[in-house]
Amino acid sequence: MEKWNGKVVVVTGASSGIGEETCRQLVKKGMIVVGFARREDKLQELEKSLKGKLGKFFYVKVDVCSEENILEAFNWVKRTLKSIDILINNAGVMKQSDLLGKTNDWKQMFDTNVIGLNICSREAIKIMEELKTKEGHIININSIGGHYPFPFMKDIAIYTATKHAVTEITESLRELLGMKNLPIRVTSISPGAVETEMIEEVNYLKEQNMLKSTDIVEAIMYALSVPQRVNVAEIIIRPTKENTLDFMKSTMQVHTYCFTYNDLAESVVSSHVRKERHRIYDYVNYKIPSI
């Protein structure tokens, strides 16, 4: 990590959870960290708690659903710090809203998780290109929901759609920057359930094994610390002992439209068929003999 000492990193969604912990750890490593988020009181508290550490913490009040806000914030970074080396696109929102839910919830999720993320990347890359940054890195905090469908958690269907978009965007951006021959790495980090504010409202996750924000920050540190010739493209992190049947049991208690255990199991099996053949084997042979 020493090579990043004194370098500038922007972290979106810095006011809580994974983003807050990322800021803390990177400042401790000696980096100049700029946190973006809407809740200024939380950012001020974080700023106070990081006084006197090896690196420095600044914040800009930013709503990533506002392009104007984002442009002003990146201009501030360029004007004030004269550099940007790393962008960690972490800001995200998960509304429990299914496919018959509210349009505004869907828009907020796409604006924050997809459009906001992409505007931030575009602006950071523009500055990196202009300032001829020698080693750049964009890290997108994706989700396990960006790789697998979760048909038994119907209320997060739009959220997982946004994260599937992040998977696609990350891969395409890595290709694009490669074609442009720019020395900027692109990484997707995809956690399973993490104990943060985002998960607090989701009743059926309360009993599940969860990761901690520090676990995700360790993955960020790993992706940053490998030699520049190495682009860690994707890291998937799931809690130990996580199992889909437990999820199914808990979601059945809240979703009345999930009629029977076997209905649910069938939908899981069919949707996982492309990616998780070994797990289907488990369902079929050990758990749900009727399928």
Ligand X SMILES: NC(=O)c1ccc[n+]([C@@H]2O[C@H](COP(=O)([O-])OP(=O)(O)OC[C@H]3O[C@@H](n4cnc5c(N)ncnc54)[C@H](OP(=O)(O)O)[C@@H]3O)[C@@H](O)[C@H]2O)c1
Judged by CB under 6 A, the stretch of 52-60, 192-200, 246-254, 260-268 that binds ligand X is 192-200
The helix-helix angle for 40-49 and 17-28 (nearest 10°) equals: 30
Among 187, 188, 196, 244, binds ligand X (CB under 6 A): 196
Contact residue for ligand X among 1, 5, 28, 39 (CB under 6 A): 39
Considering only 143, 160, 170, 244, the residue that binds ligand X (CB under 6 A) is 143
List the one residue from 22, 25, 90, 160 that touches ligand X (CB under 6 A): 90
Q: Which stretch binds ligand X (CB under 6 A): 3-11, 84-92, 95-103, 275-283?
A: 84-92
**Could you tell me which stretch among 15-23, 127-135, 218-226, 280-288 binds ligand X (CB under 6 A)?**
15-23
Distances (CA, A) of 82 to 32, 93, 214: 12, 30, 29
Q: 112-131: which residues touch ligand X (CB under 6 A)?
A: 112
- From 17, 55, 136, 151, residue interacting with ligand X (rule: CB under 6 A): 17
Residue 158 found at the interface with ligand X (CB under 6 A): no
Cβ atoms of 23 and 45 closer than 8 Å: no
Should residue 238 be labelled a site residue for ligand X when binding is judged by CB under 6 A?
Answer: no
For residues 143 and 128, give the distance between their C-alpha atoms in angstroms, rounded to a whole number.
26
Number of Cβ within a 10 Å radius of residue 55: 20
Catalytic site positions: 159
- Using the contact rule CB under 6 A, the part of the chain among 92-100, 243-251, 257-265, 271-279 near ligand X is 92-100
Q: Please tell me the distance from the alpha carbon of residue 265 to that of residue 280, in angstroms, as a whole number.
A: 10
Count CA within 13 A, CB hemisphere, residue 165. 17
> Which residue among 64, 161, 219, 223 contacts ligand X (CB under 6 A)?
64
* Rounded distance between C-alpha atoms, residue 43 and residue 24, angstroms: 12
d(CA 186, CA 172): 10
Q: Cβ contacts of residue 260 below 8 Å, gap of 6+?
A: none
Binding positions for ligand X, rule: CB under 6 A: 12-19, 37-39, 42, 62-65, 90-94, 112, 141, 143, 191, 193-194, 196-199
